[in-house]
Chains A and B, each alone.
Chain A
Amino acid sequence: MSKTNSVISGVLLFGVVTSLILILIGSILLMGNRNQSIQVGPSGLIDGILKIQPYSIINLGIVVLLLTPAARVIAAGISFAVERDYRYIAISALVLGVMTAAAVVGLK
């Protein structure tokens, strides 16, 4: 279980640090030029990232943060698979399913 712990811990740390860096970069760009087009949620995100729009860079950082717990669930699920613990593989899948449903509900 110790290796599982290291992997889960590593996934969380990577997610938080990546997200923080993106949010910091986006914020610095935004404060440099505040006349930027606003971009919230999923629509226009990819376009904004490709154009290096500050709003979208921050938004990307937020997305990374939102997906970090999901990545952690996947990491745990894989370690349960290695242990052939089918019950907890199912539980991991169920939690991921609910998170996906949350995203769908938000989209309406």
Chain B
Amino acid sequence: MTPLEFGLIAAMSTAAGFIGALLGLGGGIIIVPGLTLLFAQDMKTAIAASLVSVIATSSSAATVYVQENLTNIRLGMLLEIATTVGALVGGAVAIYVNNRYLYLLFAAVMLYAAWTMIRHRDTKKKTGDSEESTNNRLNGEYVDPITGHTVAYTVKAVPVGMVGSLGAGIMSGLLGVGGGIVKVPLMNTAMKVPIRAAIATSNFMIGVTAASGALVFWMDGKVDPVVTAPCVIGVLLGARLGTIAAGKLRTRMLKLAFAVFVLITAYQMVIHGLRGL
């Protein structure tokens, strides 16, 4: 790899981290198509590099969320049992399966991500009601950083959460993404966790989940250090810049731009999948 190529992959990853931080995505959904479509890397190399990058962004963001007490550590660790098993299975399958299926699945996940991005989201959904919960230790409380109010909530539907987390884990190990697009709505809607806590807890789980998937790839010699290095450097830089810019930019236009990007990219991924590259 030439220094120019290295720099270009780092630049692409910086953009992925930046956009990811602004839109609440891990960046994996941009890094995988970036590496395969722009830099002609093998799909499995791209998935492995993306998984490692996702660990970096998740761990970096978690340092802040955990300090702010937004993360429900017990809930996260309980669901991690399911996400890590899923990621192990997903990673093992990804290594053996033909790349064309990975391309097609990835395109489907991208389209789903775009759809969740542009659809109207009702974040004012009433959470925490009076119903008694049996999972007392899982209940959470945090001070909303914007309103300053203390928010207390009761965690519901843990079995549903476990099953959904297993699915999110499989997706993560199979495709090299964090799986937040599955876990955040799952926790928010089914488990009645307020959106801020759901985002922080999902992010918290992503490090352990992606590490399980990445360990399968790494032990098998599928993590290419030279492709992974610029991805990690870039995505950490980009996520940092994105966090700084977050309050200053209007994300509406960005979401629309992302939806257009996804349509073009998903089309390319489908073409690759059908040609069996």
Contacts and interface: CB of A to CB of B under 8 A. Distances in A.
27 contacts: A4-B73, A5-B66, A8-B62, A12-B59, A16-B63, A23-B229, A23-B233, A40-B221, A41-B222, A42-B218, A43-B221, A59-B225, A61-B229, A66-B214, A68-B55, A69-B55, A69-B59, A69-B210, A76-B73, A95-B77, A99-B211, A101-B88, A102-B91, A103-B215, A106-B215, A106-B218, A107-B219
Nearest to B232: A23
A2 B88 CA distance: 32
A16 B84 contact: no
Contacts of A94: 81
Contact of B56 (A16, A59, A99): A16
Contacts, number: 176
A72 B81 CA distance: 14
A55 to B, nearest CB: 5
Nearest to B58: A69
A72 B77 CA distance: 11
Nearest 5 interchain pairs by C-beta: A106-B219, A41-B221, A58-B225, A69-B207, A106-B216
Interface string B194-235: 000000000000011011111111111111111011101100
A98 B88 contact: yes
Contacts of B225: 26, 39-40, 55, 58-59, 62
Nearest to A27: B229
Contacts of A49: none
A41 to B, nearest CB: 3
Interface of A: 1-2, 4-6, 8-10, 12-13, 15-16, 19-20, 23-24, 26-27, 30-31, 34, 39-43, 55, 58-59, 61-63, 65-70, 72-73, 76, 85, 87-88, 91-92, 94-95, 98-99, 101-108
A102 B212 contact: yes
A13 B66 CA distance: 11
B6 to A, nearest CB: 7
Contacts of A76: 73, 77
